[in-house]
A = this chain, B = another copy of it.
């Protein structure tokens, strides 16, 4: 899968690209079928919604679930990111966000790179967010909202919000959001929500400002959020547990395009549980190795 020059230009201008129905219904089903068992686990890898049992986000499934391990090496996902960043990639973060029917809470306005820089000492924004819809996304089940072009603003000052939801987040001041939306076209395109069937994929810049509303609908909005980082841009601190911010900077090697259905064997290093070492954290920067 090779992006056209127009797609590359659109990404640079808008900060995102949308690929409706990139994965087939059968491929999606393989992934979706694996989710309930992951969400059942009463472990730190599952963050639940405030005051509810619904899973808000599950971490690192690519290390203990075969279908998600394959998705993490899927060429339809990895190759365009590699093309845009022009470097070998490692997996920085892997989440399955629930945004469950009736229960899914908001994600406030933020840039992902803000968190990665502040918490993980990731040197630059040479990293990409990928969202893959496991459910149809419509106007009612809490779609992602982007401010097109906001990635060109670079890193924006943020405030650590630890109270609004169950997940601490570096969030952006409302006055600045209003200004960015206005500059992006106000009510004529200043905010956009890519909507589409299950299997759709969004690539978005790690500085693109985004948010999502609550899900009051009867439809889950489960999405996989993968964050791929250029190997040379790997994080420099292990302040967060390894299941949140990965520490294995080995370049991703793609599987074949049919891997979700052909189901070749994959390594699952955390098959028997999250290792104790993954919980060891430190505020000290890593020693640079040369």
A residues whose Cβ falls under 8 Å from a Cβ of B: 101-102, 106, 108-109, 136, 138-140, 142, 145, 174, 177-178, 181-182, 187, 191, 193, 211-214, 216-219
CA A101 to CA B173, docked complex, whole Å: 13
Q: Give the nearest-CB partner of A177 in chain B.
A: B218
- Pair B106/A214 contact, Cβ less than 8 Å: yes
Can you list 7 contacts pairing A with B, beta carbon distance less than 8 Å?
A102-B177, A108-B216, A139-B193, A140-B193, A174-B218, A212-B216, A213-B214
Chain B neighbourhood of A178, CB < 8 A = 101, 218
Q: A102-B177, A106-B216, A140-B191 are in contact. List 7 more A-B contacts (CB 8 A).
A: A108-B216, A136-B187, A138-B187, A145-B216, A174-B218, A178-B218, A181-B218
Q: Give the nearest-CB partner of A212 in chain B.
A: B216
Q: Give the nearest-CB partner of A182 in chain B.
A: B218
Chain B neighbourhood of A218, CB < 8 A = 174, 177-178, 181-182
Chain B neighbourhood of A101, CB < 8 A = 174, 178
CA A216 to CA B217, docked complex, whole Å: 17
Chain B neighbourhood of A138, CB < 8 A = 187
Chain B neighbourhood of A191, CB < 8 A = 140, 217
Closest approach, in angstroms, between the C-beta of A150 and any C-beta of chain B? 13
Closest approach, in angstroms, between the C-beta of A221 and any C-beta of chain B? 12
Chain B neighbourhood of A187, CB < 8 A = 136, 138, 219
Q: Give the nearest-CB partner of A190 in chain B.
A: B218
Closest approach, in angstroms, between the C-beta of A97 and any C-beta of chain B? 16
Chain B neighbourhood of A108, CB < 8 A = 216
